[in-house]
Structures are given as C-alpha cells and as structure tokens.
Amino acid sequence: MFRLALIPQAIALCFFFHALQISGVRLFTAIQEENNSPPEDFLHGSAKRILTSLKSNSIEATTFGQESSSQDEAYTAGYYTSSRGPEASYYGLHATMDVYGHELKHGQWSSTTFWVSHYGDSNKSSYNEIQVGWHIRPERYGDSHPHFYTLWTRDGFETGCYNMDCPGFVRVNDAVIAPGDAIHPVSHVPGPIQNITLRVLKDKTSGDWWVYYGFNNIPTGVGYFPKSIFSYLAQKANVMSFGGFVKSTKALPTPPMGSGAFPNGGKGRAASFTDLRFINQDGNSSPITGNLTPLVTDGKCHSITPIDHARCFYGGPGGCVR
C-alpha cells in the first residue's frame, strides 16, 4: 500500500530524475546485475537521507535513486498534482514554454520538463515514467544549446533511456523534430521570445503515449511511446508534474533556470508556462487553474509563481551552493 504521508517527498525527488542517466544506453543495467539497491554514490544528499528512513522495497525508495554523485547540487521549481496515489488518473498534459540558451560548463545542466508518472504497486521496480522537455547538457551533447529531449522507464530506471538511445520512443516519419535535436533560435532578455508547445497524451484507441511538439506554432505529433513498453503507464498516469530543474557538481555554481531571471520579473524577463492544460481520457483538455502542489528547493535560488489563468513564471539566476 502507498505510504501517502511520504508521497510528497517522493514526488519532490522525481524532479531529480534528470540525474538518472549520464551517457549510457541503459540506466541501471550494470547495477542491477550486481545489486538490487542503488549504491551509495548514486544517491543525492537529500534523497539519500529520506531513503534511509524508508523500507527498501517501497516505491519511495525508487524515486530517490539517481545516477548522481553525492557531490552534486540539484534544485527544482515546479508543481505536481495534488490528487495522487493509486486511485488518481491522468491522461495528458499540455503547455507552452519559453526556450532559452545559456553558456554552461561540463558538470552543469538546466532543464524545463514534463514528468508523467505512475508509482506502480509500491515496489521500486514497478515505477513508470515519461519525461519530455528541453534541456541544456554539455556533457551529453558537446554543446551548450537547448535540446528537445525524451526519457522513459518502466521499472524504476533499471532500464529505459534518453531520446532514441534504445528501443522505446518511436518517431514518426514526417516529424518536425527528433528527440535530441537542438532548438533554435532561442529567447533573449530583453528581446523576442521563442516558444515551444508540448503535449503528452494517452491515445484512447491505441493506448500509446503520444508526444506533440510545436515551435512558435500549433504542436504536431512527433512520435510516441508504445503502450507495450510500460506496465502501469499502459493504463494511466497517477502523478503529473512540470517545472524547472538545474544541477551542478559542487565544484561549480548551479546554472540559470529558465531565462535566468527570478519569476517576479514577469513577462518579457522571467521564463513562463502558459496555456497549461490537463487532457482527459477522451482527449479533451481543460485549463489548469490551481489545486497543484508547489515544489521549490530553495526560493533564494530559483522559484515559481502561483498558477493564474493557466500560466505561471519560474526560474532564477543560479550561482547557488549548499
């Protein structure tokens, strides 16, 4: 049974799943062969502390495992669904978001992401997740450009991969972009704002999770995650989240999140999510106007505003250390 009192902590650390894969095709394959538990150096500091207080076979334990050194710093500013647990049902998420470029160093990354998740049967190996968004990750791509990306797992990150590094995401032939492609041009402050609109939804007929992408335009289907690669997400999601995430090694300051401006800078300066929508089982959407739970690691570094008329601002300049 879900330990509901601990689910908010678990969801908080879901945002740290950007740290799960450095460069390998499989996420935890080698670890699984030797030991069913993540080793010490794969647990981020706060995640590690919470993990020690949980049963090793709980779903919360899964969400805290990361391919990340204890010498890393991770910060999040986002929202997750307030209705959660085994009975919660979600079938899609939609939003328009600004895209920015920053000169990052190896050991830093910055992302803006959707997390579509199912916590399974409370065993860590049953955790299912899809991520879709944009990120800047010099170690992965060899540059400091923002890239459209996807990520998936069906078993608590023992298997799964980024983009199309392994069988999973299926790109359609006429797609306007592929996972891993750079996004350009980017927004500037002050200056013109460049947007991408993302939509992740479960197709009612096939059961597949489709990904739609549009650059300053209406999103079109670029590919899908087949229903067959998932266990619990084959039916529905029970948690949905969105927000910004940044990470760095302790030797480096954290990079900017979003535009690099705090969210109180407002339109034209701060990064934003607009036209936020949930999509129901029939494919119909409704604006997100509230009733979500905020998650902010440290408001002095990065933050997010309340949702107002399906819009919020988020981000921060970085340069934070703990």
- Provide the residue-wise pLDDT of the chain in tens; the chain has 322 residues: 444 444 444 554 454 444 443 333 334 332 233 333 322 222 233 333 322 322 333 333 233 233 445 557 789 999 999 776 778 999 999 999 999 999 999 999 999 999 999 999 878 899 999 999 999 999 999 999 999 999 999 999 999 999 999 999 999 999 999 999 999 999 988 889 999 999 999 999 999 999 999 999 999 999 999 999 999 999 999 999 999 999 999 889 999 999 999 998 777 799 999 999 999 999 999 999 988 999 999 999 999 999 999 999 999 998 887 6
Give the residues across from 97 on adjacent strands.
196, 273
What is the distance between the alpha carbons of residues 301 and 76, in angstroms, rounded to a whole number? Answer: 9
Q: Among 151, 75, 149, which residue's Cα sits nearest to residue 116? A: 151
CA 20 to chain centre: 11
Report domain extents, the chain. 4-315
Give the per-residue pLDDT at 82: 78
